[in-house]
Structure 1
Amino acid sequence: MSSLPNLLTLSRILAVPLLVLLLWQPGWLGFLTAFLLFCIAGATDYLDGYLARARGTVSKLGIFLDPVADKIMVAATIVMLVHTGIVHDWAVIPALIILLREITVSGLREYLAGLQVSLPVSALAKWKTAAQMIALGALILAGAAALKAPWFPVMQIGLVCLWIAAGLTVITGYDYLRVGLKHMA
């Protein structure tokens, strides 16, 4: 529990309530602070796994908590971006696709764990996560930019990345489901 990688993962989970609070009724500073917090949390996502592998301290707790931390952070951020109105209209569709895939894959992993079958993260799923993080970070920053730099196209960048992330989400979700269904027959 007290290894540095596990502490980094836990810090990401503990950052989520602060992120939600910052986005609850944000002004320019709230959006900017939320963006910085989201970026730091995203960096810990990479760093915790790297350190665990480099130090040989990969733990069962870390293997469990890391994807949970990712899903909590992504889901909370999407909900708050919808709450603030940054994600609205057609942009809700890729947001829902991402949320539904995360829930489905989590359930699939839980089911397969009961069969003692692991479902390793694919390389494409890592790209999906990167696209999600870029999209969500850009959309958080778009809230600040809309108030202080409306000419900066960060909203468009965020929305394009959100659709890309949703496309990768569908592909990786299908891949995981296809592998999982083989164990359900």
Structure 2
Amino acid sequence: MTMTLPNLLTLLRLLAAPGFALCYLLLPRPWADGAALLLFTTASATDWIDGYLARKWNQVSKLGTMLDPIADKAMVVIALFTLAAFSGLSGWLILPGALILFREVFVSGLREYLGDTAGLLKVTKLAKWKTTAQMVAIVVLVAQGIAEHQLGMSVFGMDGEMIGAILDGREADRVNLRLWLLANDVLVWGGALLIWVAALLTVLTGTDYFRKALPYLRD
């Protein structure tokens, strides 16, 4: 087993998965959101970099081929569980998160059962889009936590009348209240839409894999 740079990047991405949860367990918010956003974004970037380098340097290996999808799944599943526990949008995440988790476990079980014939379940372009959609959705959802905190800080100590006056333009917006309100709304609806798009793509790819495996599952 040779530890090439692409394999090392994949291994670091795998280790970053529990690091996402540790950010929320060890740091106060919004520092936890900022650290998790930086960690997840950096780790997600290595998903493209390690594959590019492995192909460019002809260093595609069995170890990297095995670890790459495991690292992706670990990052997404742990991030969704963490956000379901700490995000203000937790109620919106449970169902799409459950669909994503079900598909990942189901396809992993199919691959294990098929054994030597598991090669027919190769990663498709749609599956790659699925992973990209999941990661972008998680980035938006984490960023929403930061915007939500800043919005809360903007209105701290204000009563409803003062907030209404600022939003109506009758008072100067010295704390950028309108900006943070807009950012929070965009990230809330954007994150909710993206996680459902990711869930839909996840179900579609799972259905495609099941269709391909069905002939091998019949007695």
Q: Fold match, TM over 0.5?
A: yes
Per the TM alignment, residue 180 of structure 1 is displaced from its structure 2 partner at its CA by 1.0
Larger CA deviation: 21-30 vs 7-16: 21-30
1:183 equivalenced with 2:216 (yes/no): yes
Q: Over alpha carbons, which structure has the higher Rg?
A: 2
- Mapped pair 1:123 → 2:156: no
Give the Cα separation in 2 of the matches to 1:160 and 1:117: 33
TM-score (norm 2): 0.80
1:4 aligns with 2:5: yes
Matches within 5 A, 1:56-71: 56-71=58-73
Q: CA-to-partner distance for each residue in 1:104-156, whole Å, 9 max, x for gaps?
A: 111112222x2333011111111111110010111111111110144212122
SS of the equivalent of 1:127 reads: helix
Closer/same/farther in 2, CA of residues 89 and 17 from structure 1, 3 Å limit: closer
CA RMSD of aligned residues (A): 1.4
Name the structure 2 match of 1:165: 198
What pairs with 1:26-105 in structure 2 (closer than 5 Å)? 26-105=28-107
CA contact (8 A) 1:132 1:162 kept: yes
1:83 deviation in Å? Answer: 0.8
2:143 maps to 1:110: no
5+ residue gaps, structure 1, are none
Alpha-carbon distance in structure 1 between the residues aligned to 2:206 and 2:53: 27
CA distance in 1, matches of 2:214, 2:56: 33
Give the percent of matched residue pairs that are identical in Structure 1 and Structure 2: 46
Distance 1:145 1:90, change over 3 A: closer
Q: How many residues align?
A: 184
C-alpha contact (below 8 Å) 1:86/1:139 kept by paired residues: no
